[in-house]
Amino acid sequence: MNEAAHHILAVGKREWRSYFDSPVAYVFIIIFLMLAGFFTFSLSQFFEAGQADLNGFFRWHPWLYMILVPAVAMRLWAEERRSGTIELLFTVSVTPLQALLGKFFAAWLFMVLALALTFTVPLTAAYLGAPDFGAAMSGYLGSVLLAGAYIAVGMFTSALTRNQVISFILAVVIGLFLILAGYPPVTDLLARWAPMWLVDGVASFSFMPHYEALQRGVIDLRDLVYFASVMVFMLFATQVVLKTKVGR
Whole-angstrom CA distances from 35 to 49, 64, 89, 173 are 19, 8, 36, 21
**Which residue in 209, 81, 214 sits closest to 141, CA to CA?**
214
Per-residue model confidence (pLDDT) at position 83: 63
Per-residue model confidence (pLDDT) at position 79: 67
Report residue 91's pLDDT band, with 50, 70 and 90 as the boundaries: low
Report residue 80's pLDDT band, with 50, 70 and 90 as the boundaries: low
Whole-angstrom CA distances from 42 to 38, 49, 170, 185 are 5, 11, 30, 27
Whole-angstrom CA distances from 5 to 8, 81, 95 are 5, 24, 11
Averaged confidence pLDDT in the chain = 83
Pairwise pLDDT comparison (142 vs 91), residue with the higher score? 142
DSSP 41-103: IIIS-HHHH----SHHHHTTHHHHHHHHHHHHHTHHHHHHHHHTHHHHHTTTT--HHHHHHHH
Per-residue model confidence (pLDDT) at position 237: 92
DSSP 5-38: HHHHHHHHHHHHHHHHTSTHHHHHHHHHHHHHHH
Domain positions in the chain:
3-246
37 with 56: CB under 8 angstroms? no
161 with 171: CB under 8 angstroms? no
Q: What is the mean pLDDT of residues 55-63?
A: 87
Per-residue model confidence (pLDDT) at position 149: 95
211 with 129: CB under 8 angstroms? no
| DSSP character at residue 207 | S
Q: What is the dihedral of CA 123, 133, 229, 203, to 10 degrees?
A: -100
Instruction: Give residue 48's identity as a one-letter amino acid code.
Output: E
pLDDT at 82 over 80: no
pLDDT at 44 over 90: no
pLDDT in tens, 143-161: 999 999 999 999 999 888 8
**Interatomic CA distance for residues 130 and 246, integer angstroms:** 55
**Interatomic CA distance for residues 128 and 42, integer angstroms:** 17
Pairwise pLDDT comparison (51 vs 171), residue with the higher score? 171
Q: Dihedral of CA 42/24/114/225: which sign?
A: positive
